[in-house]
Amino acid sequence: MVRIGIVGSEGRMGQAIVAILPELGHEFAGGVDKGGDVARLADESDVLVDFSSPGSLEANLHAAIGAGIPLVIGTTGLEERHHRAIDDTARAVPILQTGNTSLGITLLSHLVQEATARLGEDWDIEIVEMHHRHKVDAPSGTALLLGEAAAKGRGIELAECRESGRGHEFGGHTGERAPGAIGFAALRGGTVAGEHSVIMAGTQERLTFSHSAEDRSIFARGAARAADWLIGREPGRYTMRDVLEL
């Protein structure tokens, strides 16, 4: 039985993880939210799972180092400075950071990378995602994860070819699509847990990879599996692909 501490335990994902742990045979070591003592929670846990906010990341990293335990980071909206801090911490403890803990999305990103590695730049790539009305970041962390996979398949950086919010800045007049661009569209409404499609449009043919999240519990199961897998690993930075040995 693994003792899993949840950072952001009162959030939607935190509550979903807490609910699923007994079924998976793991122990809920406790949870903290804004202003809570994450260092104490780390001392009482075998592994931490963080679904809080980017502003809490530094304290969570320090807590993991202090207790010498692994950390799963599912928080989205991270910036370059956050990733640098994660890289530094991963020299001391094992860290798994991901924009999505779904096993299905993990496999999907692998397939997207494989497809773009074999298709030429004359195949246009568009990523469309939809989430519930309360989601605050766009594009979603999952959409960016899929965009990174597509860019990696082409051997380029996503920052070099990313197009978001097409039409908004230009009053609807965008000009022709930039060659090699990876476009993003974000939709928000209702109670949608997560819908993602990667569209590859060639000449007179189109290939679409899609994933539908029917319930938030799929992310909770994936996060718990990642936490269990991370225990006993060497210090380093890992992804969900490592969990599936992709």
pLDDT values of the chain reduced to their tens digit, one per residue, 246 residues = 899 999 999 998 999 999 999 999 999 999 999 889 999 999 999 999 999 999 999 999 999 999 999 999 999 888 999 999 999 999 999 999 998 899 999 999 999 999 999 998 899 999 999 999 998 888 998 899 999 999 999 999 999 999 987 655 556 666 788 889 999 999 999 999 899 999 999 999 999 999 999 888 999 999 999 999 999 999 999 999 999 999
Is 79:137 a contact under the CB 8 Å cutoff? no
- Comparing CA positions, the residue from 91, 93, 96 lying closest to residue 227 is 96
d(CA 156, CA 150): 9
Q: Which one from 135, 152, 173, 196 is the annotated catalytic residue?
A: 135
Residue 116, C-beta contacts closer than 8 angstroms, at least 6 positions apart: 123, 125, 149, 150, 151, 152, 153, 154, 200
- Comparing CA positions, the residue from 226, 187, 189, 192 lying closest to residue 212 is 192
d(CA 184, CA 178): 13
Q: Which one from 82, 131, 196, 211 is the annotated catalytic residue?
A: 131
Is 64:89 a contact under the CB 8 Å cutoff? yes
- pTM of the predicted model as reported, rounded to 2 decimal places: 0.82
Provide the 10 A C-beta neighbour count for residue 88: 11
The question of whether 131 is a catalytic residue gets the answer: yes
Backbone torsions φ then ψ of 239, nearest 5 degrees = -130, 175
d(CA 163, CA 94): 33
The question of whether 134 is a catalytic residue gets the answer: no
Tokens of 28: 């809920």
